[in-house]
Amino acid sequence: MARINPITSLVVFLSLSLFHISFASAAAIQFRTALAPRQSPAATPATPVALPVSCADYSRIANLSTIALNSTLRAAFLRSSPLGTFPAVAILDADVPKLMDLMFDVTLNQQCGNSSAIAIVEADRNLTAGTVAGMKIRDAPGVAPDDLSLPILTVFLMIITVVPSVML
């Protein structure tokens, strides 16, 4: 029976250990590579981050608060609302304090788009088109100096009253 040479057994032992180490580190690398995509932020687009309000609520708050905070839009809203002035003021002002936080919430504005910026542009466009918050802007002579309907009506009345007398 062959005697086991201590040197040989040491060599066998060391090479087994080395094999084990290299196997273990190969496995560790594989494990890390398998984990890597899951840990990288780019590969996880849908990490649910709690939003302070839903995108729909943010949009509604931004639209109403934009009207509440601008004197031109506010006056147009108040004289056009079918509600009385006090309920209309309450609706407008209810969410204004919330807008300040929401407007600068980076996560919310990334997920929903910047509804505050959109509301400012769109409210102006609506005003030009004669609506505020989806309501037709009512005429209130003396309240809206840039309201075109009064000058147009005046010119029209002048034409129908003056023209026949000139033609006679």
Ligand X SMILES: *[C@@H]1O[C@H](CO)[C@@H](O)[C@H](O)[C@H]1NC(C)=O
In the complex, the residues that contact ligand X under the rule CB under 6 A are 56, 59-60, 63, 66, 70, 72-73, 103-104, 106, 109, 114, 116-119, 122-124, 126-127, 131, 133-134
DSSP H or E run through 112: helix 106-112
Min CB(79)–ligand X separation in Å: 15
Min CB(92)–ligand X separation in Å: 12
In 3D space, the residue among 72, 84, 56, 163 whose CA is nearest the CA of residue 123 turns out to be: 72
Of 18 and 129, CB closest to ligand X:
129
Of 3 and 71, CB closest to ligand X:
71
Of 78 and 133, CB closest to ligand X:
133
HSE-CB of 49 using CA atoms within 13 angstroms = 15
The residue to which tokens 């600068």 are assigned: 104
Min CB(160)–ligand X separation in Å: 32
Whether the CA torsion 157, 160, 166, 168 is positive or negative: it is negative
